[in-house]
Structure formats: structure tokens, C-alpha cells
Amino acid sequence: MSQLIYPLRGGVHPPENKQQSLQSPLRRLAIPGELVFPLAQHIGAPAKAVVEIGDRVLAGQMIAEPNGPFSAAIHASTSGTVSAIEARPIPHASGLWGDCIVVAADGKDESIDFVGCENPFKIDHESLIEKIRHAGIAGMGGAGFPSAVKLNPPPNNNIDTLIINGTECEPYITADDVLMQERSEDIIRGCTLLAHILNGPDRILIGVEDNKPKAIAALEQSLLKLAAEDLPGIDRVQVVSFPTKYPSGGEKQLIQILTGKEVPSGGLPAHIGIVVQNVGTTVAIWEAIKHGKPLIERITTVVGESLKEQGNAIVKLGSPSQFVLEQFGFQEKSCARLIAGGPMMGFSLPDSRAPIVKTSNCLLVPSHQEMPDPAPAQACIRCGHCAEACPAGLLPQQLYWYAQAKEHDRLLAHNLMDCIECGACSFVCPSSIPLVQYYRASKGEIRQAEIEKEKSDRSRQRFEFRQKRIERAEAEKEAKRLARKKAAEAAKAKAAANAGAAKTAPAADPVAAAMARVQAQQSDPAEQLAKLERAVNNARNRLNSAEEKWQQAEGDQKAKLESRFKQAQLRLQDAESKLHDFKQQSAGQNPAPSNPTSASPTTPLNIDSDDPIERAKAKAQQRLSMSPLEKAENNLSSLNDRLKKAQEKASEADDDKRAAMEAAVEKLKQKKTSLEKEIDELKAQAPLKENTATAETPVDPNSIDDPIERAKAKAMQRLNMSPAEKLQNSLQALQTRLAKAEEKAASADEDRRPAMQAAVEKLQEKIKTVEQEITEFKAQEEPAKPAESANESSGIPLDAASAAIEKAKAKAAAQAQMSDSEKHAAQVESLQQRIQKAQQRLDKATEEGNDNVDAFRLGLEKLQAKLKELESE
Amino acid sequence: MSFLRASSPHAHAANNTTKVMQTVLLATLPGLLALTVFFGPGSIINILLALIFCLAGEALVLRLRKRPLGFYLRDYSAAVTAVLLGLALPPYCPWWVVMVASVSAIIIAKQLYGGMGYNPFNPAMVGYVVVLISFPLQMSQWPSPASLLESLPSISASISQVFTGQGLDAYTSATALDIVKQNNSQLISQVYADSDLLRSGSLAGAGWEWVNLGFLMGGLYLLYKKVFTWHAPVAMLASLSLFALLGYDSGSSQSGGSLSLHLFSGATMLGAFFIITDPVSSAVSNKGRLIFGAAVGALVYLIRVLGNYPDAVAFAVLLMNFAAPFIDYYTVPRSYGHAKPRKATEKQEP
């Protein structure tokens, strides 16, 4: 069965330049006087030195141990003495120096005893991984990924394909080619061992570009030869050759060529069941396990026109590049640049002292003719050659634009992070733009920005948590303070309540506490006494006013008012008798409280007090405790007063003022009749008990004299109104305004009349629009309430406005039908709900550190006070 | 010693912009040859004048921008613009028409936008359209092919015609596209029978078919040299052909003209291989170029048949230049490791 080959997208064909280094046979280089072992030769954490200066080390001795799982050990490659552990030039793209262990070789090349094993296939998985780790093996193709990590994929990834990478697509480099020719048997053995470690994948593919016919032949021969041996899984090994094209040897590209699959962006080959290992790594792993020999040498291609000879050599790791180059007759003056790796992805070294490391597959020292200095970049003409060359399917010229503009969003949207930096785009660019350099810089910028963002996110989070912590602490303090206050109040109430209060424990919950207080008050005889006294007072006041009115009234009114006066008399008597009974009762039970007024803050203040403030307070309190009916009656009396005065004035006034005066009198009369009507209605609706003065009972705002009070009541009413009611309300208001305006217009003198009439017209217009709105609103509501509309159409006029009035009346009646206790209960319930909500809001606000905490707390306290008041009734 | 520090890749393909431009210039030769053979030396004079004005204009702006003259002039991009302009303008048109066109192309359409690589519109086409709209009379005087004249204009007569407006007599005639457009409600076959120009040609009128074949040849050469991909030209010719076939209705008086007329007359081949393949002002991805080319082809046909101008390549190209960035946004190719293409306008979550 021959393996299918899938095409590689993009790619380029740079001059291969592989012949130069294949002319001379593989040789073994001498041992340099000094070897330098960088601690970071692999991807991951640098190794940890385990030797000290002055220690004698032998070849194969571990001189640095892996630092964590994502790391690799480092071994001395010859015998000698550790002369220094310090920063030295290392082969790294940055050109920076890094920590190295420096060994002065003694030339004896003494080695530790390598302990091999007879049959590596009998060793268990964990031990094999551990052996690889301790042999310090990292990817030898160039990346230096610790092999032990790669061969130990996450357990949920079932590996079905093992790929051995012998592609070597970089020009000039022939290290793997030579290795495949020289060590083909070990490669075959090694890959069966890797398959064993990976739990026997279905396919083992050795991928080689077709420009290495000798290597392919050698591998196939060895495969045939070894088939006779008892190597587990050798029947699944295949050597696959495919057309030469750069960068076929990239891990992702090779996977695509051999399997047709693509490694998901940001994922690992293991995620699609594939593991790729370089041929050099494969041999190193075989040696490490079979013969116990750690990674201390490798084949490196030494090539370039500034050398007298070019070729491949087995180099001891740690040999300085300068030493290696000198073995090949290095002519420094003709050297254009020193490149570690190939011409496409290798990086230039500023310093030839940098040593050969595990990943050094090539040292390239081209002459100036061979690799001239880069041409100055011209403008991008968007020819698109780069996009055709890109093996990752990117749009390099767009990336270049965005990299120049530092548009990171666009760069990410154009998948910059999927760029493998193969250099194909730069290679083909006719304008000689160093595209890859732009991408590397942009990637660095983006990573840096991400790191900084993460940092700032973290510090912001820290700050927010701290704020929350502080707020929480403060809220706790505040809660404690409140609790203490409540407790103190409760204690006070307890002291006043004597026996009954024993039941109510000071509660942390403000609602519970409020209820407890209310209970305490209800059972407090002083409270009850005060209440009764208040009721008597109220009744007396009402009686007085009724009497006054009665005396002032004339005609029909008089009869009405007389009856009212009599009622008030009866009530007063009732209240007085109640008070009397109570006083007797309490006198019988226990001595009257020494100071009832101080114990009950709601005791009416003296209305006849001399102090005006005191008096105002008393009045306000009185008003607060009035029922709407009482208020209306109060208003009526004051209106009567005003009417009387106005009439007097009108009779006294001279002619020109008289018209105005009479109009005013008329107005007052109108008001009075409307008020009287209201009073009647109120009486009919709800015969109120004397001592139930509920603030929540809907109050007709027009009946209240005090402007502030009126406004409040109005607002309250508005809040409770449905939109239709609101409209209705505004219609009414407009109609009254219209009437007034018409009056004014009629009474106004000639020159002001037009203005007045205009105003009247305006008002009329407004009324029309409001009426229209009401109709519209009704029309909207109609489908929602078919039953109601049916009712309306059956007897009541179809006029929308009057219908609305009917509805409002019906509602009021429904409310009136509710028994007082029901109403009360409903109000208490709603208040409690509101308190709960307010409490929640307050809690949330305290948590968040909202600025409104104080406002919320105030609101809550108000609500609690209201509840208390309500429940006391 | 310290070595040169350079970023990978260290190798570079042996191509550069200058070579690309030179190849393009070389590829215009067959078309120019056909123009000269059939219409006389007018086009060569045009090209020489355009070269002078374009290079002078480029040098002027480069000097004002304090850029190295040699480095930028040597990229041959101004020369390519000049040659394309010279090929597009009617032979023997007055020298100042060439001047206005050149200045518009180089200074306004190219350098004011930032020079090479930054121009959103094809400079040669901008220059052409500017003079087409500004000087309709001069721009509609196309010479008759040699087969309809007694002799080709001499060089001296041509030069005096260009600079003084005198020297050639009755050298102009309607182009094939003009004739079909102004068909006076005749059947196409009648139009062909009445017109010497169309009658003496085998594809699309004497001379014109050869000019177009010349540009086709040059274009194929550029394709072979991989200067551009096949996507845009093939898409344009395909969509133009499709429209021509749909609109031909076997030659009624309402017919839009035959397939061969549309493919081998006017600036079809010049446009397909030398204008819309201008990488700077067209779409970047292969898919984008297919869309770009197809839209140009459709516009060319629509403007030719329904519009006021008998030839439409310049307008079609400029219109699609507008759309190129938009096309780019929606034709980002799928990258390796991605299930589907990402949107170019995608933003990161803040």
C-alpha cells in the first residue's frame, strides 16, 4: 500500500544548495579546549546546574537537571573541569547572552559507563519517558521541544499516526540527509520504539523530500532488512517521499502533506492524533534507551563559501562555533554573516563564540557574493506573490499594512498568529520587504499588549476586591451600629411597656424590630390613653368647626350642616366616654404613667400654644391625622370664611372693582359647592371611624387647602393613577382652566380681551387633543378588556371621556367596598414589600459602594416609620 | 568579530519590482507593433510624449517630497503608466492632451496618494478618463486603419499633426464599437455590409482585431512569466463573453454586438491583461480577483451597450477600483488550521 500525498498550499522553490556539504564524507570533529553548555537549549524552563566550579565531569555526566516537567537535562560531552558558570554568548535569535556551564576539557575524553538495556520494548511507558527526560533529548530539527513531553500526549488524545520528519526542506542543510544515510537502521528501530512509547499508532510514516534519493534508498533497504527482526510494529512503518518544496518540513505542513489533516489553529498535532519527531531525535532516543547514551553530540552541517571545505560533522555539544568553523578552514573576512540554521529560518549570530547546541543543525557562513546584503525595501505593490507563497494561507501584504499601522485587531483577524515565520513571503517579495520581520515584531507587540492587559486586569480586579472588602466591612459596622440603636430603642420601649414588652426581644431585623415596637405601643396603656385623648381632641375640633359652619350657613345648607354638627356632637360624646372608661380602667389596674406625653411622641401638641412654631406643628400634626372627610370639611369651613369675606368686600368695593370681586365670589361659591359635593360623596363611600386617619387613603387633592399638602396628595394620586385616569385628570384640569379663562375673558376690559380669547382658544385646543388621546387610549385598551367595553356599550354613553370617568368611579367604588381592615392589611402588606425591596436595594448598594447608600437608608427608615404608624392603627 | 545581524530569511528570490515592470513593458510590444503597423506612428509619439511628461512629473513630486530620485525612478512604475497611457490615447491626439493625461495620472492619481503602492485608482486610467471627459472631441478622433487609407501617415506629418493640429487630412473614422452603437436601427449584418472597417476585418474590424490579438499575446507572455495570476483577466473575459452572448440575439438592430466584436475591439485585451492586473488598485486574494475581473467585464459590456461611451474599460476599472478594498474584506482566504475564513473586520473582544 502506498501512502497518498496531499498537496502543500503555497510554498517556494529556493535554490537547494545541498550539494556543497555532500561532497566530503561525514567526519568526527576534535575536542575543543573549552566547551560551553547553555542551560537553555530547549523550549521551556532552563535546566538547573548540578555541578560547581572546579568539579571534574566525565562525558555523559549530567551537569544540569531538568527544572520541572517542561525542561531537559544537560550532559557534559567530554571529560574535564567545570571552569565557570556564567553568562556567555549563546545561539539565540535575540543575540543575548545566557547562563552557561563552561567545561575546560582535559583531552582524555573519559566517559561514564552507559547502561543500556537488552530489550527496550519490555520497559513500561513511564520508565521510557523518564529515561528520555534524563537523557536530555529535545527536538533536534531546530525548535528544541523537550521530547519527553511530546511523547507523553494528554491521555484523551489517541495517537493514530507517528510521523518521522526527514524532510529537511531548508536549503544548504544536509545533516538529516547524512544521518538517514548513515544511521537508517537506528532510525527504523527508533521509530518502532517511539511507536511503542505512543501505544502503537496505526501508521508510522517517515517523510523524506524526493531530493534525497540516497537517504530514501537507505531507509527502504534498512526497512526490508529489519523486517526479518522481531521489531514490534515494523510492519506499519512506511517511507514516504514527496516533491521538494519549501517549507514541507514544517511540522504542520508535513502533517498536511502526509495526512491531509490540518492542525487546528492554536492546537497541537496530538489534538488530531499525530505526533511528529525529527529523524535526529529518533536516533538520539534509540541511543539513549538502547545504549544508555545521553544527548552529547550531533551531526551539524558546516557550509558556506567562506569555508575552504564544506561538509557534515559529528560535533560534541558545547563546541564553540568558531572552533567548528576553523576545522573547515573558515575565512572570516569573506564571511557575509554567520547563520545558525538554514538560510530561510536560521538566525544570524553576532558572535562566533556561541556554541553548538542540541538544535544546531547547521552553521552557514556565506560569502558576500553568495548572500549579498539585503536590498533596500521598495513600496509594496500588492502583487500578491507573497499570498501565493504562504503555506499558511495568509494574506502577507495585508498583514504588512496592518503591522505598519499597528492595527492589532486586524492582524489577529488576518490570523497573524498562524504565521509560521517560514520566510516564503519575504523570499518572493519583489520589493524586498522584510515581511517576516514585521510579523515577528507585531507578534511580540501583541503578546506584550496581552501581558500588559492581563496585568492591568489583575490589578483592577485586586482593586475592586479591595473596594468591596472595605465596603463590606463598613456595611457590617453600620449594621452593627443600627442593631445597637435598635436594641437601645427596643430596650427603651421595653422599659416603658413593662410587662408586655418581655415577649419582644431586640431583633436585628429592622422589620421585626419595627413590628415589635408597634406591638409594644399597642399594649402600652400610655399610648392608648394618648390615642383616646387625641380622638377626643379631634372630635371637639370638628364639633367646633361644624358649629361655626352651621351658624354661618344659610338655606338648604343650614339643614345639612346642622345634622353634621349633631353628628360631631355625638362623636365627641362617644370619644369622651371612651377616654373616661379607659382612664378608669387604667387607674384601677396600675397607677397612671407619671409622664404620658414624653412616653408617647404622637400625643397631640397644644394647638392653642402661644409659640407660633409649636402651633404650626400642632396644626400639621392635626392635619396629618385627619381623614379626608375631615379635611374636606375643614376646607369647607375655611372656604365659607373666605366667601363671607369676599362678599363683604364686594359690597364695599367701588364700581370698577366690583366686577372682579363678584367673579371671585362666584368662583368661591363654585368651589364651595364642589367641595360640599365631595364631602357628601366621601361620606357615602366610607363612613370613617374617628380614630382611623390613614395617610394612604386616596385623598382628593383639590379638597386640601395647604398647597404643599395638596401637591403631595396630588402626586400620590398621580402615582396610583392609570394612564387613562391621568389623561382624564388632565382633561378635568384643563376644563376648569378653560372655564376660568372664559370667565376672565368675559370680565376683562377691551384691550385685554383678544389675548384672553386666544388663551381660551388654546385651552380648547388642548382639551381636544387630550380628549383625542383619551379616545385613542381607550381604543388601545378596548381589545384587552372586551368584557368591560361590553358593559360600557350596554348603557353608559359611548363618549370616551365619560367612559373613563365611569371607570375611575367604578374603581373608587371598588376600593370603597373593601373593608377597612382589608384595606389596612393590604397597605401593611405593600409597605412590608416595599421595605423588603428597599432593604435589598440598600444591601446591594452597600455591597457595591454606591453613592446612594445614604439616600437608600433614609428611604428605608422612612418606610419603616410609615409601617410603624400604619400598624399602630 | 561581529557579524551582520539580519532577520531571516537570508535568501531572496532573484526577482524585484524593476524586473516585473520591465517584463510588463516588454509585453506591450506586440500590441504596440500592431498599432503602429495599422495606424501609423501615432501611438509611438503618444508613448514618447507620455514618458517625458510622466517621468518629469514623477521627478518633480519626488523632489518636492525630498525622496531619492534614482531609487524611485528606477522602479519603472512611472514608465509603465506612461506606456499604458500612450497606448490608450488615440494616435495623433494633440500633445497637450497627452500632457494633461500624464500629469493627472502621475501627480494626481499616483503621487498625491503617496506614490507607488498607495494609489487606490489605476493612474493610467485616471489620466485617460480625465482627458476623455475634458476633451471629448480630441478623444473621439481615432484614425482609420491603413487598409482604408491610401498610405500610412508619415512621421513628419504625424509630428506636425500632434503639435500643430495640421498635417494629416481626413485620417479619422469611427471605430468598430462606434459603428455598431450608432447602427441607425439596422441589422448587424447590414451594419457590417455598410462599414468598410467591419467588412474588411475578420473578427472585429480591420486593424483593431490585430491590436487586441497583440495585447492578448503580451498578456499570455506575462501569465507565463507569472507576473500576475490568471484570475482577473480570465474572469473579465469570461463575464464579458457571457454578456455578449446573452445580448447578441443573432444580430437584430437592438443587438449589443457579437462576441468577437466585444472581445477583439476597443481596449478589451489591453484592459484585461495590462490594466485590471495592476496589483496596486485591484483585489488581493485570488477569489477577490475573480470577483473584481468579472465585475469589470460586466461593467464594460453594460457601459458599452447602454452607456454613452462606446468604450468602457477605463470607467469599469475605476468603478471597480472603488470596490476593491470592500471585496478584500469579504474574500479573506481560509488560513491553515481554520475551519472557515475569518472576517477581515473581526474585532477582538475588549
Closest-approach residue (CA) in chain A for B10: A343
Report the b/e string of A213-223 with b at 16+ CB within 10 A.
eebbebbbebb
Residues B105 and B179 in one domain: no
pLDDT at A635: 78
Q: Which of A401, A430, A455 is the last residue of a domain?
A: A455
Q: Among residues of chain A, what percentage have pLDDT more than 90?
A: 33
Q: Is the pLDDT of residue A601 over 60?
A: no
Contact of B20 with chain A, judged by CB distance below 8 Å, is answered with: yes
Residues A309 and A413 in one domain: no
Residues 6+ apart with CB under 8 A from B150: none
- Asked, for residue B30, whether it belongs to a domain, the answer is yes
Least Cα separation, residue A414 to chain B (angstroms):
6
Residues B79 and B200 in one domain: no
Average pLDDT over residues B83-98: 92
Report the b/e string of B270-294 with b at 16+ CB within 10 A.
bbbbbbbbbbbbbbbbbbbbbbbbb
Residues A258 and A180 in one domain: yes
More confident residue, A598 or A779: A779
Contact of B73 with chain A, judged by CB distance below 8 Å, is answered with: no
Q: Which of A332, A364, A396 is the last residue of a domain?
A: A364
Residues A335 and A408 in one domain: no
pLDDT band at A797 (very low <50, low <70, confident <90, very high): very low
- Residue A872's Cβ-count burial label (10 Å; 0-12, 13-18, 19+) is middle
Residues A293 and A323 in one domain: yes
- Asked, for residue B338, whether it belongs to a domain, the answer is no
Residues B50 and B158 in one domain: yes
77-116 in B: which are within 8 Å (CB) of A? Answer: 77, 115-116
CATH of residue A25: 3.40.50.11540
Q: What is the maximum alpha-carbon separation in chain B?
A: 85
Residues A448 and A348 in one domain: no
Q: In the numeric block, which cell numbers belong to residue B40?
A: 501609423
Number of domains making up chain B: 2
Of the candidates A104, A100, A103, A87, the residue with the CA atom closest to the CA atom of residue A38: A100
The ipTM is 0.84
Residues 6+ apart with CB under 8 A from B268: B212, B237, B240, B262, B300, B313
Q: Answer whether A59's CB lies under 8 Å from A110's CB.
A: yes
- Asked, for residue A605, whether it belongs to a domain, the answer is no
- Asked, for residue B99, whether it belongs to a domain, the answer is yes
Q: Is the pLDDT of residue B46 over 70?
A: yes
Q: In the numeric block, which cell numbers belong to residue A855?
A: 439616600
Question: Can you spell out the DSSP letters for A629-687?
Answer: HHHHHHHHHHHHHHHHHHHHHHHHS-HHHHHHHHHHHHHHHHHHHHHHHHHHHHHHH--
Of the candidates A48, A45, A37, the residue with the CA atom closest to the CA atom of residue A89: A37
Cα separation, B74 vs B83, whole angstroms: 15
Residues A303 and A400 in one domain: no
Give contacts of A346 with chain B, Cβ < 8 Å: 8, 10
Least Cα separation, residue B40 to chain A (angstroms):
34
Q: Which of B132, B167, B202 is the last residue of a domain?
A: B167
pLDDT digits (tens, 9 = 90+) for A50-70: 999 999 999 999 999 988 888
Average pLDDT over residues B140-160: 77
Q: Which of A455, A487, A511 is the last residue of a domain?
A: A455
> Per the CB < 8 Å rule, is B9 touching A371?
no
Cα separation, B75 vs B19, whole angstroms: 8
> Per the CB < 8 Å rule, is A427 touching B9?
yes
pLDDT at A301: 94
More confident residue, A94 or A389: A389
pLDDT digits (tens, 9 = 90+) for A533-578: 888 888 888 888 877 777 777 666 777 777 777 788 888 888 888 8
Residues 6+ apart with CB under 8 A from A42: A71, A72, A138, A139, A144, A145, A146, A358, A359
Give the sheet arrangement for strand A48-49, strand by strand.
A48-49, A62-65, A74-75
- Asked, for residue A396, whether it belongs to a domain, the answer is yes
Q: For residue A312, how far is the Cα from the chain centroid?
A: 57
In which domain, by residue range, is B228 found? 174-329
Q: For residue A579, how far is the Cα from the chain centroid?
A: 65
Residues 6+ apart with CB under 8 A from B96: none
Q: Among A14-28, A409-423, A787-801, B160-174, where is mean pLDDT lowest?
A: A787-801
Q: Is the pLDDT of residue A699 over 60?
A: no
Q: In the numeric block, which cell numbers belong to residue A1?
A: 500500500
pLDDT at A571: 83
Cα separation, A775 vs A773, whole angstroms: 5
Q: Is the pLDDT of residue B340 over 50?
A: yes
Residues B221 and B284 in one domain: yes
Q: Among A92-106, A668-682, B285-299, B329-343, where is mean pLDDT lowest?
A: A668-682
Residues A57 and A182 in one domain: yes
Q: In the numeric block, which cell numbers belong to residue A58?
A: 566525565
109-128 in B: which are within 8 Å (CB) of A? Answer: 115-118
Question: Can you spell out the DSSP letters for A359-373?
Answer: T--EEE--BTTTSPP
> Per the CB < 8 Å rule, is A337 touching B337?
no
3-state helix, strand, coil in chain B (%, to 5): 60, 0, 35
Residues A342 and A409 in one domain: no
Q: Is the pLDDT of residue A44 over 50?
A: yes
> Per the CB < 8 Å rule, is B1 touching A376?
no
Q: Is the pLDDT of residue A793 over 50?
A: no
pLDDT at A868: 80
Strand partners, A246: A12
Question: Can you spell out the DSSP letters for B119-145?
Answer: -SS-HHHHHHHHHHHH-HHHHT-PBPP
Q: Is the pLDDT of residue A443 over 90?
A: yes
Give contacts of A417 with chain B, Cβ < 8 Å: none
Residue A313 DSSP SS3: strand
Residues 6+ apart with CB under 8 A from B195: B176, B179, B205
Residues A137 and A217 in one domain: yes
> Per the CB < 8 Å rule, is A413 touching B347?
yes
Report the b/e string of B74-91 with b at 16+ CB within 10 A.
ebbbbbbbbbbbbbbbbb
Number of domains making up chain A: 2
Contact of B8 with chain A, judged by CB distance below 8 Å, is answered with: yes
- Asked, for residue A120, whether it belongs to a domain, the answer is yes
Average pLDDT over residues A245-260: 91
Cα separation, A843 vs A832, whole angstroms: 16
pLDDT band at A596 (very low <50, low <70, confident <90, very high): very low
Q: Answer whether A399's CB lies under 8 Å from A382's CB.
A: no
Q: Which of B167, B192, B216 is the last residue of a domain?
A: B167
Residues B117 and B197 in one domain: no
pLDDT at A516: 66
Contact of A409 with chain B, judged by CB distance below 8 Å, is answered with: yes
Most A CBs within 10 Å, among B2, B12, B349, to test the A interface: B12
Most B CBs within 10 Å, among A385, A397, A421, to test the B interface: A385
CB pairs under 8 A between A and B: 181
In which domain, by residue range, is A436 found? 385-455
Average pLDDT over residues A754-780: 74
- Asked, for residue B6, whether it belongs to a domain, the answer is no
> Per the CB < 8 Å rule, is A345 touching B280?
no
More confident residue, A712 or B146: B146
When the pLDDT of each residue in chain A is averaged and rounded to a whole number, the result is: 80
Residues B250 and B317 in one domain: yes
Q: Is the pLDDT of residue A106 over 70?
A: yes
Q: Is the pLDDT of residue B242 over 90?
A: yes
Cβ-nearest to A378 among B12, B13, B17: B17
Q: For residue A674, how far is the Cα from the chain centroid?
A: 60
Least Cα separation, residue B30 to chain A (angstroms):
24
Q: In the numeric block, which cell numbers belong to residue A92?
A: 539565540
Residues B148 and B195 in one domain: no
pLDDT at A1: 43
Q: Which of B100, B133, B167 is the last residue of a domain?
A: B167
pLDDT at A76: 93
Altogether, the residues listed in chain A come to a count of 873
More confident residue, A613 or B265: B265
Q: Answer whether A275's CB lies under 8 Å from A448's CB.
A: no
Residues B213 and B126 in one domain: no
> Per the CB < 8 Å rule, is A395 touching B5?
no
pLDDT digits (tens, 9 = 90+) for A108-164: 888 898 888 888 888 888 888 888 888 989 988 777 888 888 888 888 888 899 999
Q: Among residues of chain A, what percentage have pLDDT more than 70?
A: 78
Our CA dihedral for A837, A839, A842, A848, rounded to 10 degrees, sits at -80
pLDDT at A554: 67
- Asked, for residue B345, whether it belongs to a domain, the answer is no
Residues B179 and B162 in one domain: no
Cα separation, A723 vs A536, whole angstroms: 41
- Asked, for residue B347, whether it belongs to a domain, the answer is no
- Asked, for residue A213, whether it belongs to a domain, the answer is yes
Cβ-nearest to B5 among A95, A393, A410: A95
Average pLDDT over residues B218-241: 93
Average pLDDT over residues B135-164: 80
Residues A111 and A227 in one domain: yes
Q: Among A309-313, A517-521, B231-235, where is mean pLDDT lowest?
A: A517-521
Q: In the numeric block, which cell numbers belong to residue A304?
A: 558556506
pLDDT digits (tens, 9 = 90+) for A621-660: 666 666 667 777 777 788 788 877 777 776 766 666 667 7
In chain A, what is the straight-line distance between the N-terminal and C-terminal CA atoms, in Å?
98
CA angle B140, B144, B149 (to 5 degrees): 150
Any idea which residue has 494616435 for its cell?
B91
More confident residue, B154 or B225: B225
Residues A396 and A301 in one domain: no
Q: Answer whether B310's CB lies under 8 Å from B270's CB.
A: no
pLDDT at A279: 93
Cα separation, A445 vs A409, whole angstroms: 12
Residue A239 DSSP SS3: strand
693-732 in A: which are within 8 Å (CB) of B? Answer: none
- Asked, for residue B57, whether it belongs to a domain, the answer is yes
Report the b/e string of A274-288 with b at 16+ CB within 10 A.
bbbbbbbbbbbbbbb
Residues 6+ apart with CB under 8 A from A54: A81, A82
Selection from A836-850, B52-66, B254-268 with the highest mean pLDDT: B52-66
